[in-house]
Amino acid sequence: MSGVTERPAETGISDDVTLGEYLASIRNDRKLSLRAVEEKTKKQVSNAYLSQIETGKIQQPSPNILHALSELYEISFESLMDKAGYITAASARQHGARHGRAATFAEHNLTPAEERELMQYLEFMRRRGVSR
Domain coverage including residue 73: 1-132
Q: Once rounded to an integer, what is the mean pLDDT over residues 8-24?
A: 72
Q: Is 38 left (phi over 0), alpha (psi -120 to 50) or beta?
A: alpha
Q: What is the CATH number of the domain that holds 74?
A: 1.10.260.40
Q: Reduced to 3 DSSP states, what percent helix, strand and coil does the chain have, rounded to the nearest 5?
A: 55, 0, 45
**Higher-confidence residue: 11 or 111?**
111
pLDDT exceeds cutoff 60 at 95: no
pTM of the model as a whole: 0.61
The model's pLDDT over 19-77, given as tens digits with 9 standing for 90+, comes to 999 999 999 999 999 999 999 999 999 999 999 999 999 999 999 999 999 999 999 89
- Give per-residue pLDDT as tens, 100-111: 444 556 667 777
66-103: string of b/e by CB count within 10 Å (b at 16+)? bebbbbbbebbbbbbbbbbeeeeeeeeeeeeeeeebbb
Please name the amino acid found at residue 6. Answer: E
The predicted structure's pLDDT at residue 105 = 63
Number of structural domains found in the chain:
1
CA atoms within 13 A on the CB side of 60: 4
Predicted pLDDT of residue 13 = 62
Q: 50-66 pLDDT, tens per residue?
A: 999 999 999 999 999 99
